[in-house]
Structure 1
Amino acid sequence: MKKLVKKLLTTHPNIGFSIARLTLGLIIFPHSAQKLFGLFGGYGYSATMETLTMQMGLPSVVAFSVIMIEFFGSIFLVIGILSRFWALLLAGMFVGIIFITQLEHGFFMNWFGNQAGEGYEYSLLIIGLALTIVINGSGKWSIDTLISKKQ
């Protein structure tokens, strides 16, 4: 019994960092596939670019960057390559999303459709996961870890 309690109380941060990285990548990927390919009910690249530039007023280079950071960042995070870099880009992007579109709508997401837009709680979760990766790295199960062990 004592061994079981000790095992339950022992932390494995490298595994936890891998879980954070995989969670972030797997959550962002469907959003990026909506924007880039029109999958999962999305509108695809052209319509997303039009929405981000014409309706939201973002410069085209920023709109393009949002789509590419989400798509390639999610894939590289799942694989575990340059995870700190991609997580930092995602964190920065979501800080921008909060200030550009969500801050005026408050904290809570628009669960019941009674707000004019989405709040920033989802973005804060993304930023928190991303900063965990930026600070601690990819975790045990990643290409980054395999590469760093060989050097």
Structure 2
Amino acid sequence: MKNSVKQLLRTNPNIGLSIARWTLGLVLFPHGAQKLLGLFGGYGYSATMESLTTQMGLPSMVGFSVIMIEFFGSISLILGLLSRFWAVALTGMFLGIIFTTQLEHGFFMNWFGNQAGEGYEFSLLVIGLALSIVVNGSGKWSIDRLISKK
């Protein structure tokens, strides 16, 4: 196995990291399934792409990346497969979300519908969990750990 791949898969065998990874993956999966498959009351791929590109003005490659990162990244995090890669992708995506749509609305989420948009507190939680995975790896119960042990 090449050294760079080994570094990507290397993980601290800590149960807490597995819990952080599962939490992040399980929270993000419904959002990705909404965007890609139309599950959980979502609109599916075509309508989501239309919204991201036409209404929000994002380039189509960015819209596509958002959908793929949320859906396949969440599944990969749940399994512990290439978790560092997906955690970096999520960190970048959520930093983009903060700076393009949330910063102007302040810290707090729009729990009571009295703000013009969402604040960035949820995004900071996602980034924090993702960065712990970037630094330490997938944790004890992960495919990454099984592969790196061989």
Same fold (TM over 0.5): yes
- What is the aligned partner in structure 2 of residue 125 from structure 1? 125
- What is the aligned partner in structure 2 of residue 9 from structure 1? none
What whole-Å deviation, never above 9, does each CA across 1:102-132 have from its counterpart, x for those lacking one? 0010000000000011000000000000000
- What is the aligned partner in structure 2 of residue 40 from structure 1? 40
Alignment of 1:23-62 (within 5 A): 23-62=23-62
Alignment of 1:100-119 (within 5 A): 100-119=100-119
For the pair shown, the structure with the greater C-alpha radius of gyration is: 1
What whole-Å deviation, never above 9, does each CA across 1:67-113 have from its counterpart, x for those lacking one? 00111100111011100000000011000000011001000000000
- What is the aligned partner in structure 1 of residue 3 from structure 2? none
- What is the aligned partner in structure 2 of residue 64 from structure 1? 64
1:54 Cα deviation from its structure 2 partner: 0.6
Distance 1:42 1:117 in 2: 19
SS state of the match for residue 110, structure 1?
coil
- Asked whether 1:75 is paired with 2:84, we answer no
- What is the aligned partner in structure 1 of residue 140 from structure 2? 140
- Asked whether 1:15 is paired with 2:45, we answer no
Higher relative contact order (CA 8 A, sep 6+): 2
1:13 Cα deviation from its structure 2 partner: 7.0
Identity of aligned residues (%): 82
Distance 1:111 1:34 in 2: 20
- Asked whether 1:149 is paired with 2:146, we answer no
Distance 2:106 2:21 in 1: 27
Distance 1:88 1:141 in 2: 20
SS state of the match for residue 111, structure 2?
coil
Distance 1:37 1:116 in 2: 28
What whole-Å deviation, never above 9, does each CA across 1:14-39 have from its counterpart, x for those lacking one? 00000001111111100000101111
Distance 1:88 1:47 in 2: 26
RMSD: 1.1
SS state of the match for residue 36, structure 1?
helix
1:149 Cα deviation from its structure 2 partner: 1.0
What 5-or-longer segments of structure 2 have no aligned partner? Answer: 1-11
TM-score (norm 1): 0.90
What 5-or-longer segments of structure 1 have no aligned partner? Answer: 1-11
